[in-house]
């Protein structure tokens, strides 16, 4: 009996050892699994879907650190070469430019990216690439404004809009980039005069988010708002039925269609200089530029694809095709500090 018991004990021990060895091997394999570390300012469901799709396709595990672009840029600076980050994802060209200017990114050679992303939507030195486009447009009250009343951003300075405009604070990068595009198009003197006149035409002091500007128009506080297109999609798919009423009352107008086109900004990515997984980072940006990923950005987050008129989202298509300003978006970054100064001079809070 005692021999049988000890034999059984040996067998159990043998299997326990085998299991321990298996667990060890699995954990070693996991630690060796290809990785990609992303610092992201983006906070959208579309991205979670795309991370999963990419991992399923490639086996590359994605780790994400979220924060504001400024926080993440600061973190990259202080971490230096030891930074674990491979990729910086932001929601505007201005901050991508800031990261490049701080020496945090590196140039990327990729035929796929050159083919998929139009020249005006990437850094001239290929240090960052746009992945989605958002147009900053005029949203108007359908019952009080006719589309024929609207024309250009410049026209919002005219006295006919006195007390009728809603727009958020000038501390917001989307407004700074719009202002940068106006400086590029018209020069500093005219851009300042525009900011002063628009400030005077506001229905209320700047406040709130882009969504709040559409809400102000629907509530009759203002007749027109300057805001990004995808927030209309977000209001339409909001869990709050009040937001659906907002969408029913407003419409989208693309300004400057007879001239340079509507101001666009981008969400984009750059590979960090410190990247230890550069090949994976490039693979991921290439994946995000593929039509499969571009469709997810449109259908889930209502952003335009980088090839704007290829969009397949019903909502975006309902606004029709539009002409976009083809100014190279690196200019938005280069003109950012001028834009901030002029807003201050204009008294635009
Ligand atoms: Fe946004």
The reply to whether 323 falls in a domain is no
Residues 78 and 210 reside in one and the same domain:
no
Cα of 34 vs centre of ligand 1, distance in Å, is 31
Residues 254 and 286 reside in one and the same domain:
no
Cα of 174 vs centre of ligand 1, distance in Å, is 8
> Which CATH number fits the domain that encloses residue 149?
3.40.190.10
Cα of 137 vs centre of ligand 1, distance in Å, is 13
Cα of 132 vs centre of ligand 1, distance in Å, is 12
Question: pLDDT (tens digit, 9 = 90+) per residue, 292-324?
Answer: 999 999 999 999 999 998 888 999 999 999 999
Structural domain that includes position 340: 134-262+329-346
The reply to whether 241 falls in a domain is yes
Position 27 confidence tier, pLDDT thresholds 50, 70, 90: low
CB 153 within 8 A of CB 241: no
Q: What ranges make up the beta strands (E) of 35-128?
A: 35-40, 61-66, 87-90
The reply to whether 318 falls in a domain is no
Q: What are phi and psi of 296, to 5 degrees?
A: -65, -45
Residues 336 and 219 reside in one and the same domain:
yes
Residues 306 and 285 reside in one and the same domain:
yes
Residues 154 and 127 reside in one and the same domain:
no
Cα of 267 vs centre of ligand 1, distance in Å, is 9
pTM, entire model: 0.85
Res 1 pLDDT > 50: no
Cα of 302 vs centre of ligand 1, distance in Å, is 11
Cα of 91 vs centre of ligand 1, distance in Å, is 7
CB 157 within 8 A of CB 198: yes
The reply to whether 320 falls in a domain is no
Question: pLDDT (tens digit, 9 = 90+) per residue, 63-118?
Answer: 999 999 999 999 999 999 999 999 999 998 889 999 999 999 999 999 999 999 99
Domain count, the chain: 3
The reply to whether 255 falls in a domain is yes
- Tokens 């879907």 belong to 49
Residues 168 and 186 reside in one and the same domain:
yes
Q: Which helix (H) or strand (E) holds 137?
A: strand 129-141
The reply to whether 321 falls in a domain is no
Residues 283 and 220 reside in one and the same domain:
no
Residues 117 and 230 reside in one and the same domain:
no
Residues 225 and 159 reside in one and the same domain:
yes
Res 25 pLDDT > 70: no
Name the token pair of 50: 């795309």
The reply to whether 322 falls in a domain is no
Residues 12 and 51 reside in one and the same domain:
no
Residues 140 and 66 reside in one and the same domain:
no
Residues 188 and 242 reside in one and the same domain:
yes
């Amino acid at each position: 009996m005692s021999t049988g018991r000890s034999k059984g004990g040996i067998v159990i021990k043998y299997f326990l050892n085998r299991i321990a060895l298996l667990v060890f091997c699995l954990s070693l394999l996991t630690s060796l699994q290809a990785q990609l570390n992303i610092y992201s300012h983006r906070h959208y469901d579309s991205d979670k879907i795309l991370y999963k799709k990419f991992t399923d396709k490639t086996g590359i595990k994605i780790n994400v650190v979220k924060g504001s672009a400024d926080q993440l840029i600061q973190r990259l600076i202080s971490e230096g070469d030891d930074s674990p980050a491979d990729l910086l994802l932001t929601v505007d060209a201005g901050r991508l430019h800031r990261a490049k200017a701080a020496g945090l990114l590196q140039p990327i050679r990729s035929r796929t990216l050159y083919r998929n992303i139009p020249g005006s939507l990437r850094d001239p030195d290929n240090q960052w690439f746009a992945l989605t486009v958002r147009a900053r447009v005029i949203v108007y009250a359908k019952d009080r404004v006719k589309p024929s009343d609207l024309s250009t951003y410049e026209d919002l300075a005219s006295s006919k809009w006195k007390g009728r405009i809603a727009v958020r604070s000038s501390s917001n990068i989307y407004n700074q980039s719009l202002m940068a595009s106006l400086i590029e198009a018209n020069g500093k003197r005219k851009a300042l005069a525009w900011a002063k006149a628009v400030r005077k035409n506001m229905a209320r002091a700047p406040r709130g988010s882009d969504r709040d500007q559409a809400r102000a128009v629907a509530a009759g506080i203002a007749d027109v708002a300057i805001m990004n297109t995808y927030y209309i999609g977000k209001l339409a798919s909001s869990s709050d039925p009040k937001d659906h009423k907002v969408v029913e009352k407003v419409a989208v107008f693309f300004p400057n269609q007879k001239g340079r086109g509507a101001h666009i900004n981008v969400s984009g990515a750059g590979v960090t200089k410190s990247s230890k997984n550069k090949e994976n980072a490039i693979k991921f940006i290439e994946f995000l530029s593929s039509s499969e990923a571009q469709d997810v950005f449109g259908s889930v987050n209502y952003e335009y694809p980088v090839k704007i008129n290829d969009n397949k989202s019903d909502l975006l298509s309902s606004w029709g095709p539009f002409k976009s300003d083809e100014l190279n978006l690196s200019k938005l970054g280069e003109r950012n500090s001028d834009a901030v100064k002029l807003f201050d001079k204009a008294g635009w809070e």
